[in-house]
Amino acid sequence: MEAAGSAGERIRLAVDAPSTERLDVYLAARLPRLSRTRIARLIADAHVLRNGRPARKSERLERGDVLEIVVPPPEPSALEPEPIPLVIVYEDDELLVVDKPAGLVVHPAPGHRTGTLVHALLHHVPDLAGIGGVLRPGIVHRLDKDTSGLMLVAKTERAQRALSSALKRRRVRRGYLAASWGHLGEEEVTVDAPVARSRSDRKRMAVQEGGRRAVTRLRRLERWPAADLLRAELETGRTHQIRVHLAHIGHSVVGDRVYGGGGARGVSGPGRRWAAELEKRVPRQFLHAAELEFLHPVTGEPVRLRSELPADLAAAAAWARRRG
C-alpha cells in the first residue's frame, strides 16, 4: 500500500485479502484523510480504478486486486481573499476559533458577495480554499449576521470531517447569552419544538409540525424589570433556533427585528418605559455566542473557550442592572 500523497497525486492500494466491505467503506477505512462522501464522489467521477477499470462503490474486493485512486486538487475558489481584521481566540495547524463581530456575514450570499468572514479567512489561511466547500471553506457552523461570538473553523479536511461529525453527534457544546422580553415562568426551561422554513415567508424560520427536531435549554442568569438575561445552550443547531424558540414561547430576543413581535411595545404595565429605554440602547439582537467546548479532532484534548459580551451589549446590560 502506497502512502497517500498530497492532493492531485495517485494512490495505489494492493488488496492482500478478500473483503466483505463495499469499496467505498473499504477505502474510507484505509484513507482517513478523505471523507466517505469525498470517496463516493471520486468513485462516481471514475477517479477510482480497480485493475485498470472504473470501479463501482458497491463492489467487493478480491485478493490481488489493485486499486488506483486519483485525488484531484481542490476545486479552485473564485473568492478573493480580503484583509478584513479577525479576532482569533484559538489557532493551531488543524483549526481556529474566531470571535465574530456583529454585522459580519459568514459566507457569500445574494447581497453579500464580498466582505464576509470567509473572505477574511481566505486571507488569514491561504490554503483554506476547498476545505468543506468552495463557498464556505472551513465553516463548521455559522452565526447569523447580527449575532456575535465564537465560531469554529477547520483548516484541514480531517478536522472538517471530525468537527462536523462531532457537531452532528452533539459533542460540540455551544452556549449563548441572550436578553429576552418578559420573564420565564421558571429558572430553567427546555424548549423542544420542531423548526422548519416558514410556509408563509421563506426568509424566516418557524416552529411547525413536520420540521426538524430542535432543542434549546434556557437558564435565567439575571432578572431585569421587563426582561431576562439568559444562558441558552443548543442541543441541536437549526437556523435561527434560539431566536425562533424564544419567540415561540413568548419571550423574543431583545432587539430582534425579525422575530421580535413588536419588541418593547409588547411590554405592558410599569415596565414599559424601562423596556422602551432598553430597546433604544440595544443596537441589534441581544444574542452572543459566549461559550464553545469540544474535543480537539486530532489530539482528543478538551478545548474550552469563552467570550465576554461585546461593548454594545455589555453597555446595555450594565444600564439594565443599574436601572433594575
Largest CA distance in the chain: 82
Give the H/E segment covering residue 104: none
- Classify residue 72 as exposed, middle or buried by CB count within 10 Å of its CB (0-12, 13-18, 19+): exposed
Residue 24: active-site member: no
- Looking up cell 480554499 gives 129
Q: Among 65, 99, 144, 228, which one carries the catalytic annotation?
A: 144
End-to-end distance of the chain based on CA atoms, in angstroms?
69
Give the CA angle between residues 265, 268, 272 to the nearest 5°: 65
C-alpha–C-alpha distance, residues 120 and 106, integer Å: 10
Let me know: does 216 contact 190? Beta carbons within 8 Å.
yes
DSSP label at residue 283: -
C-alpha–C-alpha distance, residues 306 and 290, integer Å: 5
C-alpha–C-alpha distance, residues 77 and 133, integer Å: 9
Residue 259 neighbours by CB under 8 Å, 6+ apart: 204, 240, 243, 244, 246, 247, 252, 253
The residues annotated with a catalytic role in the active site are 144
